[in-house]
Amino acid sequence: MVTAIGLAAALVVAACGSTSQAINPADQTGTLTVWLMNGSAPQSVVDGVNADFKAKYPNVTVNVEIQQWSNVTTKLDTAFAGSAPPDVMELGNTLVAKYGYNGALADITGQKSSFQNSGTWLQSLTDSCTVSGKLYCVPYYAGSRAVIYRKDMFAAAGATVPTSMDELLAAGQKLMTKYGSDPNFSALYFPGKYWYAAAPFVWDFGGDIATQSGSQWSGAINSSASQQGLSVLQNLVSKLSRADKTGDELKQDQAFAQGHIAMIIANGWEVGVITDKKSGNPSLLPNLGAFPIPSHVAGQTAPVFLGGSDLGIAAKSQHQALAREWVGLLGGTKYQSQMVTVGGVIPNTTSLVTLSSGLPAIFAAAAKNSRFTPNSPNWANVESSNVLQNMLVAIFTGRSSIPDATKAASDKIATILNASS
Amino acid sequence: MRAAGEIGAAKAPARSHAEASPSNFRAIVARHSLPYALIAPALLVILGVLGWPLVMLVWLSLQHYGLRELFQHQGTFVGLKNFSTILADPQFAYTLRTTIIFTVVNVGLSMLFATLIALLLERVSRFVRVLLGAGLVFVWATPVIPAVNLWQWMFDYEFGVMNWLLTRIGAGNYLHHNWFENPLQGFSVITVIVVWGAIPFLAISLHAGLTQVPRELVEAAQIDGARAWQVFRHVTVPTLRPLLLVLFSLSTIWDFGVFNQVWVLLNQRPAQDYYLMAVFSFQESFRVSQYGLGSAVAVVMIAILVVATFLYVRQTVRSINEGGA
């Protein structure tokens, strides 16, 4: 009985969000479970956050568990369905709407101002955390794609860094002329299912995935602007890429490291995978360069998808205040700065973007012209149904014409987005 | 077969004896309920691990059950709406048709090759038989996920040994040949993997069955001038009939529910052309989080399997009874 009252009291206190004032931090006990994704934070950052947390809460144990990206949604669904999900979890920014809308994440709207830099969080990440006007997560970091290229191959083929899509094709053709006799060579390696590298072409011509009016979504991937972007991309792929037209981008860094590829469209962190001592080729590093995906308008860059992750707190967590404290550390100035300088990612706040230098700075600059996927709780279902990936495969393999493939995809996207979940 | 007949024969007089002395009521109850009491623990376990999930599956298929319902453990009853939804879905019709064709082809090929290998095992020398048997057991012992990963490497677009080999032996230019661009070709690869994995169990079982074919029957047939095919057709197959029926029904159940091979081979993101029933059910449930719809697909799958295997099972029971009599 006494325990029950104690527990009830603790819950009330926790619900008020004032645990840290009510109980001396040194007396707090318990275990905080955190799920971070593979490759997101360098180990030194995680260790630093845990050390700072431990200094304040010596009797609280923090378990940081690293999850793999493939099949993570199934794992998250199962965890949220159980009674004891992890207290804190990193969520891909396209997943938050789904979990926030369905009641899996704690609403932290009231505590927003308690997080450092919350006034200067990246708009696009903040949007991804916001569902029906409520805040369900703290932005963690962002990533955007640019073209990684081989400076030595460009020099040997007499190609220059392109500033328009036409120049991109011209540079690629020079490379194909120079190296094309190697049957494994691709000037621009573009696996058929690589939707997030195709999106900039759609957006650059003024196209979009879907548009919302009121509560109703309509597919826009079959608009003439979208189709125009896709036909430019199809031309590039057919002339410059020998990548698997039905494959996905998971292997592109290993493929690039083999040395038969001049350009890939990639995230900033992929430089690290390409030059990894074990699975990659470190000797390529001095020859790697990057440039933003050029626009069809000379001198401009194409809008890119702003990927990234957010940190959510489970609604069922018994340690709401502790969870917010931990999230606040990882999302705060000290460790976000390290995420930039050590991890090479784009931080969650505009106030720290200037810390990037070298190649990461090019990716950070590309992020300035960025877009996000339709912010709907059903968007995750469009992703897991592979609608856009299958559309690209149909186009690249020539199984469907662009008008037919985009029409089918557009209808399917509208159906999924408008479904009552 | 013999044993079943003997138990039946032993039971009959016992029962008539009990009926002959109705005064001893407790003895009757004890005698009649004892067999049930003895199988009760096993029955309870079977009901617990098979029956209960099945009931829950059917119950789930009658509900709208999405993510929100999953997190709150509370679905909404919608009657047969999930079934009408999937029956109206052209993807479901395509998937059902593909799965049936796939099952027929795979069961047929698995049984054909397994029978040929079993017959071969009977005729080769002891040394070769041990060698072949060991090979089969190794295939059987390979866990399915690593096995499919190995096949995936072999058929890889860029680095696969298959493309290299076919180009090397002059079968055409298979450099950068994509085995999964055309679904028919992709399903051929999947069939190779499924049949490869199915052969060991079937061949070893059939070989065991073949050792039970009475030698004297075969010799008598040969003396009467029967040729090899006729011996096989009129002596071997009738003797193996119960075993063949069991193997056919098991293969049907397995091949109708193929999942791992497709899912792993296509990097957990199969295109819709590659949906088999189990893949479709998984996709609806765990990818799109429509657990009600996914369960409805699974219920339809079970219903089809029950009908298909009922025929096998009836035949099996019949032939066992005939054999025992």
Given phi > 0 = left and psi -120 to 50 = alpha, else beta, which region is A223?
beta
- Tell which of A74, A238, A391 to mutate to test the B interface (max B CBs under 10 Å): A74
Given phi > 0 = left and psi -120 to 50 = alpha, else beta, which region is A17?
left
Query: Which domains does chain A carry?
Result: 21-144+306-371 (3.40.190.10), 145-304+385-418 (3.40.190.10)
The answer to whether A73 contacts chain B (CB < 8 Å) is yes
Separation CA B292–CA B63 (nearest Å): 6
Q: Distance, in angstroms, between B166 CA and closest chain A CA? A: 16
pLDDT exceeds 80 at position B119: yes
B306: closest CA among B252, B244, B243? B252
Given phi > 0 = left and psi -120 to 50 = alpha, else beta, which region is A405?
alpha
Assigned domain for B183 exists: yes
The beta-carbon neighbor of B66 closest among A104, A385, A421 is: A421
**Per-residue pLDDT in tens (0 to 9) along chain A, 421 residues:** 344 444 444 444 444 444 445 578 888 889 999 999 988 888 999 999 999 999 999 999 999 999 988 778 889 999 999 989 999 999 999 999 999 999 999 999 999 999 999 999 988 899 899 998 999 999 999 988 999 999 999 999 999 999 999 999 999 999 999 999 998 899 999 999 999 999 999 999 999 999 998 889 999 999 999 999 999 999 999 999 999 998 888 889 999 999 999 999 999 888 988 998 888 899 999 999 999 999 999 999 999 998 899 999 999 999 999 999 999 999 999 999 999 888 888 999 988 888 888 888 899 888 888 888 988 888 988 988 899 999 999 999 999 999 999 999 999 999 999 987 5
What tens digit of pLDDT does each residue of B181-221 get?
889 999 999 999 999 999 999 999 999 999 988 889 989 99
Residues 6+ apart with CB under 8 A from A8: none
Cβ contact B271–A386 (<8 Å): yes
Assigned domain for B68 exists: no
Assigned domain for B273 exists: yes
Assigned domain for B212 exists: yes
Alpha helices (runs of H) in A17-132, residue ranges in sequence order: 19-22, 43-56, 72-81, 96-101, 123-129
Q: Distance, in angstroms, between B177 CA and closest chain A CA? A: 9
Helices A165-179 and A224-240 pack at an angle, to 10 degrees, of 20
The beta-carbon neighbor of A102 closest among B68, B73, B180 is: B68
- What is the percent of chain B with per-residue pLDDT over 90, rounded to a whole number? 62
Quick count: other Cβ atoms within 10 Å of Cβ B174?
Answer: 17
**B41 plus B155 within the same structural domain:** no
- Say what the pLDDT of residue B9 is: 42
**B219 plus B317 within the same structural domain:** yes
- Tell me if A335 sits within 8 A of A341, measured CB to CB: no
Checking ipTM against 0.90, whether it exceeds it is no
What tens digit of pLDDT does each residue of B63-98 get?
999 888 998 888 999 999 999 999 999 999 999 999
Cβ contact B158–A255 (<8 Å): yes
Q: Distance, in angstroms, between A355 CA and closest chain B CA? A: 37
The residue in chain B having the minimum alpha-carbon distance to the alpha carbon of residue A250 is B267
How many residue pairs bridge chain A and chain B with CB atoms within 8 Å of each other?
67
pLDDT exceeds 80 at position B21: no
- Tell me if B305 sits within 8 A of B253, measured CB to CB: yes
Domain of residue B119 covers 83-324
Separation CA B291–CA B277 (nearest Å): 15
Separation CA A157–CA A151 (nearest Å): 10
Q: HEC profile for A324-375?
A: HHHHHHHHCHHHHHHHHHCCCCEECEHHHHHHCCCHHHHHHHHCCCEECCCC
Q: Distance, in angstroms, between A410 CA and closest chain B CA? A: 16
Separation CA B151–CA B160 (nearest Å): 9
Cβ contact A246–B181 (<8 Å): yes
A349: closest CA among A89, A126, A93? A126
Alpha helices (runs of H) in A57-94, residue ranges in sequence order: 72-81
Q: Distance, in angstroms, between A78 CA and closest chain B CA? A: 9
pLDDT exceeds 80 at position B15: no
The answer to whether A91 contacts chain B (CB < 8 Å) is no
Q: Which band of pLDDT confidence, cut at 50, 70 and 90, is reported for residue B22?
A: low
Reported pTM: 0.82
Query: Which neighbouring-strand residues pair with A267?
Result: A145
Separation CA A10–CA A4 (nearest Å): 10
Separation CA A395–CA B272 (nearest Å): 15
Cβ contact A80–B287 (<8 Å): no
**B12 plus B155 within the same structural domain:** no
**B50 plus B97 within the same structural domain:** no
In this predicted model, which residue has the larger pLDDT, A112 or B321?
Answer: A112
Assigned domain for B76 exists: no
Assigned domain for B186 exists: yes
Tokens of A302: 């194409």
Cβ contact A385–B269 (<8 Å): no
Assigned domain for B73 exists: no
Chain B residues whose beta carbon lies within 8 Å of the beta carbon of residue A246? 178, 180-181, 271
Separation CA B160–CA B176 (nearest Å): 9
Question: Please, is A419 exposed, middle or buried when counting C-beta atoms within 10 Å of its C-beta (0-12, 13-18, 19+)?
Answer: middle
Classified as helix, coil or strand, B257 is coil
Separation CA A308–CA A293 (nearest Å): 18
The answer to whether A412 contacts chain B (CB < 8 Å) is no
The beta-carbon neighbor of B158 closest among A80, A103, A244 is: A244
Domains in chain B: how many in total? Answer: 2
**B57 plus B164 within the same structural domain:** no
**B119 plus B260 within the same structural domain:** yes
Quick count: other Cβ atoms within 10 Å of Cβ B287?
Answer: 21
Assigned domain for B278 exists: yes
- Tell me if A281 sits within 8 A of A305, measured CB to CB: no
- Phi and psi at residue A161, to the nearest 5°: -65, 120
**B55 plus B92 within the same structural domain:** no
- Tell me if B199 sits within 8 A of B111, measured CB to CB: no
* Chain B residues bordering chain A (beta-carbon distance below 8 Å): 66-68, 70-73, 157-158, 175-176, 178, 180-181, 267-269, 271-272, 283, 286-289
- What are all long-range contacts of B298-304, with beta carbons under 8 Å and residues at least 24 apart? B298/B57, B298/B61, B299/B57, B299/B58, B299/B61, B299/B83, B300/B83, B300/B86, B300/B96, B301/B256, B301/B257, B301/B277, B302/B54, B302/B57, B304/B256
The answer to whether A59 contacts chain B (CB < 8 Å) is no
- Tell which of B91, B287, B290, B293 to mutate to test the A interface (max A CBs under 10 Å): B287
Separation CA B109–CA B111 (nearest Å): 6
A32: closest CA among A55, A53, A47, A12? A53
What tens digit of pLDDT does each residue of B148-169 get?
999 999 999 888 999 999 999 9
Chain B residues whose beta carbon lies within 8 Å of the beta carbon of residue A103? 68, 71-72
CATH code (residue B306): 1.10.3720.10
The beta-carbon neighbor of A397 closest among B66, B68, B181 is: B181
The answer to whether A22 contacts chain B (CB < 8 Å) is no
State which amino acid sits at residue B230.
Answer: Q
**B49 plus B124 within the same structural domain:** no
- Say what the pLDDT of residue A136 is: 96
- Say what the pLDDT of residue A140 is: 96
- Say what the pLDDT of residue B23 is: 61
**B130 plus B253 within the same structural domain:** yes
- Tell me if B168 sits within 8 A of A175, measured CB to CB: no
Separation CA B83–CA B61 (nearest Å): 8
**B158 plus B223 within the same structural domain:** yes
Element (H, E) at B100: helix B90-123
Cβ contact A246–B66 (<8 Å): no
Q: Distance, in angstroms, between B251 CA and closest chain A CA? A: 29
Separation CA A355–CA A117 (nearest Å): 15
**B285 plus B148 within the same structural domain:** yes
**B31 plus B94 within the same structural domain:** no
Cβ contact B71–A81 (<8 Å): yes
Cβ contact B271–A80 (<8 Å): no
